């Protein structure tokens, strides 16, 4: 290990931000193809339906690309350039990666979906009947199903039996999401969604091949990481048992091993990032981007990783009872020039044209300043403009005194016309 490439934590952060598309602000207005390129870079785009600001997949793309029409993402799905399936969680995925996930669909129990496998085995005729109905009658949405009576016994959810069947068929890959309308899934049979070239199950890769591809893809997507963070990205391995171990991929020349300041474990970098690695070591990767992040952004969704990389202890509190929340329902991490400096609990009131900052908390280690206020004000104003909520209202901040320079910076932006 003494011969490993040495990286300071600042250099490792810059490398990770560059890999995830968050090092610098966009150089030009976004184009539809840029959305697809960003998703290919991240490999996965996690889906969540909470929209007090914007639904997560749209916000993750905005953090990297700036203003863009949200319908572009819907169009890419409907055009077949993306598909939906389970990866880190429910995700939009590049269609080029479909066969890797087809292996999961064909082997549900091995893929960590034993309940779906059990439901298919326990009720084969019910699932086949529903599949035939979709095939004969055309694409359907969950709300189209008639209630057959009784709870389904699935915990929090009171799904109708056919709703549960359609979700099981989705996990098995027999139906797919053909498109979304107002973010509602529209299901159809796979042969009407996929191009013919992807319908042949004989071309599905072996499990070992998929594991290798996902290990390499996770390292590439995140820039630099130790073995223990690899398995979380696609949920294909436990933290203590990455598959395959990255040391073997160092031996084959596909990964580089590095030593990162403060890490008790070796880190790994994909060979495609060699130029970025060299630039980081020369101090040439300068983090200049200031933006808000979704709670489900790849940069922050792993709590241990966010803490080790950015000294940022982040938990999504929307699933925490209100009385136990510390920061708010749907807090967005604030990225300023390579640091996660705080979090904002915000809500976009589109009807009133107001972007409400219910609370903004700076991290205790961050010193407030007019420059910081200006950077954060710019990020808030850009996010507000994207929503058509041109008035940014600051309710409170921590520290309390930071609200004054922040409001002054927002007024200056409004006065200059830079909105």
Token reading at 53: 């600001």
Q: What b/e string do you get for 243-268 counting C-beta neighbours within 10 Å, with b at 16 or more?
A: beebeebbeeebbbbbbbeebeebbb
Asked if residue 10 lies in contact with residue 338, where contact means CB atoms within 8 angstroms, the answer is yes
Q: What is the DSSP string of 111-125?
A: TT-HHHHHHHHH-HH
Query: Tens digits of per-residue pLDDT, 322-367?
Result: 888 898 888 999 999 999 999 999 999 999 999 999 999 999 999 9
For 317, half-sphere exposure in the C-beta direction (CA atoms, 13 angstrom radius) is 18
Asked if residue 17 lies in contact with residue 289, where contact means CB atoms within 8 angstroms, the answer is yes
Token reading at 75: 């169009």
Asked if residue 73 lies in contact with residue 57, where contact means CB atoms within 8 angstroms, the answer is yes
Give the pLDDT confidence score for residue 152 in this predicted structure: 45
CA distance 130 to 286: 54
Asked if residue 80 lies in contact with residue 194, where contact means CB atoms within 8 angstroms, the answer is yes
CA distance 295 to 313: 12
- The alpha-helical segments, DSSP class H, found in 183-297 are 190-193, 207-222, 230-234, 246-251, 274-281
Token reading at 325: 């929340």
CA distance 268 to 340: 22
β-partners of residue 291 are 335
Query: Tens digits of per-residue pLDDT, 85-144?
Result: 999 999 999 999 999 999 999 999 989 999 999 999 999 999 999 999 999 999 998 777
CA distance 89 to 92: 10
What pTM value is reported for the model? 0.93
CA distance 55 to 47: 8
β-partners of residue 272 are none
β-partners of residue 268 are 225, 257
CA distance 103 to 205: 7
Give the pLDDT confidence score for residue 328 in this predicted structure: 87
**Cβ-based neighbour number of residue 194 at 10 Å:** 17
Asked if residue 53 lies in contact with residue 383, where contact means CB atoms within 8 angstroms, the answer is yes
Query: What are the CA-CA distances from residue 302 to residues 103, 228, 254, 293, 314 (Å)?
Result: 25, 11, 24, 14, 9
With H, G, I as helix, E, B as strand and everything else as coil, classify residue 361: strand
Asked if residue 192 lies in contact with residue 207, where contact means CB atoms within 8 angstroms, the answer is no
Give the pLDDT confidence score for residue 238 in this predicted structure: 80
Give the pLDDT confidence score for residue 50 in this predicted structure: 87
Averages of pLDDT over each 10 residues, the chain, 419 residues:
81 98 97 98 95 93 97 97 97 98 95 94 94 94 63 47 92 97 94 96 94 97 96 88 92 96 96 97 96 97 95 89 86 97 96 95 96 98 95 96 97 77
């Amino acid at each position: 290990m003494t011969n490993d490439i040495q990286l300071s934590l600042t250099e490792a952060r810059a490398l990770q931000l560059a890999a995830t598309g968050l090092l610098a602000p966009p150089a030009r207005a976004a184009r539809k193809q840029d959305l697809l390129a960003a998703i290919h870079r991240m490999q996965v785009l996690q889906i969540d339906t909470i929209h007090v600001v914007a639904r997560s997949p749209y916000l993750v793309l905005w953090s990297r690309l700036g203003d863009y029409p949200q319908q572009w993402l819907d169009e890419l799905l409907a055009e077949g350039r993306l598909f939906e399936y389970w990866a880190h969680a429910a995700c939009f995925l590049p269609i080029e990666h479909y066969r890797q996930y087809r292996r999961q669909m064909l082997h549900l129990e091995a893929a960590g979906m034993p309940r779906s496998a059990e439901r298919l085995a326990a009720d084969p005729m019910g699932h086949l009947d529903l599949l035939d109905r979709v095939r004969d009658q055309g694409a359907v949405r969950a709300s189209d199903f008639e209630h057959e009576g009784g709870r389904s016994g699935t915990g929090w959810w009171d799904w109708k039996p056919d709703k549960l069947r359609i979700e099981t068929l989705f996990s098995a890959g027999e139906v797919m999401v053909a498109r979304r309308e107002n973010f509602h899934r529209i299901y159809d049979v796979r042969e009407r969604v996929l191009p013919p070239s992807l319908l042949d199950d004989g071309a599905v890769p072996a499990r070992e091949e998929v594991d290798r591809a996902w290990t390499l893809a996770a390292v590439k997507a995140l820039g630099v990481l130790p073995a223990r963070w690899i398995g979380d990205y696609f949920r294909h391995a436990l933290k203590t048992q990455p598959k395959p171990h990255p040391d073997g991929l160092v031996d084959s020349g596909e990964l580089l091993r590095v030593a990162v300041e403060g890490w008790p474990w070796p880190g790994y970098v994909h060979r495609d990032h060699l130029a970025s690695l060299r630039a980081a070591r020369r101090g040439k990767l300068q983090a200049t981007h200031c933006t808000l992040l979704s709670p489900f952004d790849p940069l922050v969704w792993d709590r241990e990783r966010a803490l080790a990389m950015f000294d940022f202890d982040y938990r999504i509190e929307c699933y925490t009872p209100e009385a136990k929340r510390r920061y708010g329902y749907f807090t967005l991490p604030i990225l300023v020039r390579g640091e996660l400096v705080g979090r904002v609990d915000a809500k976009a009131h589109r009807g009133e044209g107001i972007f409400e900052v219910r609370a903004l908390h700076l991290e205790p280690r961050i010193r407030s300043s007019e420059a910081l206020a200006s950077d954060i004000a710019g990020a808030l104003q850009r996010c507000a403009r994207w929503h058509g909520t041109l008035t940014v209202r600051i309710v409170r901040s921590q520290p309390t005194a930071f609200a004054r320079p922040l409001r002054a910076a927002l007024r200056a932006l409004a006065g200059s016309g830079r909105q």
